[in-house]
Amino acid sequence: LAAALPFEATHPALVIGPLSLSTVELCLYIALGLGALAAGLSARSLRVAPKPVAWAAILAWVTVLLLSALDAREPRDEAVRFALRSVGAAGLAFAVARASAIPWARVAILAGVALGACASAALGAIEGFFPGFAPALAAFRVQSFSLAGYPRAMGPFQYPTIAAMSWEASAPVVLGLIAVLPLRRRFRVALATAVGVLFGAAIAATLSRAGLAIGAIVLLIMALVAWFRNRP
């Protein structure tokens, strides 16, 4: 699921009555089902299972969403779907918090995030350099965007801003994983540089000013943390 998050096709993968599930939603509910099964098989450990940060606020937010969806007029189907997506995300927060108590699960989740982020950023960077590549990604989007006559890249996302947000949030995760790889320093530096260029090119191709600013700030903070932790 972590690797599949950037790749949500616009065509539904499964239709159940008035609700249609996308590729990512289907993966999400399968993951939640497996998480619930695992929790049921080890019910005693639920009392000591880690909870996500601000878990009470998450539950309050979910309650408001559900009440809002039930009170919606038209289109109610879309309101219910939005609420279910958000409830699923909240459930995923609890499942990931529980799984984070297992070292190999932490590594697997972060590796999945890194894999999906790098693959989607590569598509975004290619689209930025070769705008003619955009039709190949038509399965993931409903329209195109431009700014001052220049096409805005978004890779497999539906909006350039969402693409920039995803990549600027994923870049620290990927760079952090590279920092702890059991490789020689020069290889880690080369790999981190290549990844930084990849995400930088992808974010720049979205023409998102906020994306560029936040991405630069995040990289600067990481550089400062690395400097103070490894000054010798």
pLDDT tens string, the chain, 232 residues long: the values are 999 999 998 888 888 776 778 888 889 989 888 888 887 787 666 667 788 888 899 999 999 988 888 887 777 777 887 888 888 889 888 888 888 888 888 889 999 999 999 999 999 999 999 988 989 998 898 888 888 888 899 999 999 999 999 999 999 889 888 988 888 888 998 999 999 899 999 999 999 999 889 988 988 888 888 888 876 5
Distance between CA 7 and CA 13 in Å, rounded?
12
Q: Return the DSSP state at 21.
A: E
Distance between CA 136 and CA 2 in Å, rounded?
23
Distance between CA 200 and CA 193 in Å, rounded?
10
H helices of the chain, in order, are 23-41, 55-71, 76-99, 103-129, 160-179, 185-205, 209-229
Q: Return the DSSP state at 155.
A: T
- Global model pTM greater than 0.75: yes
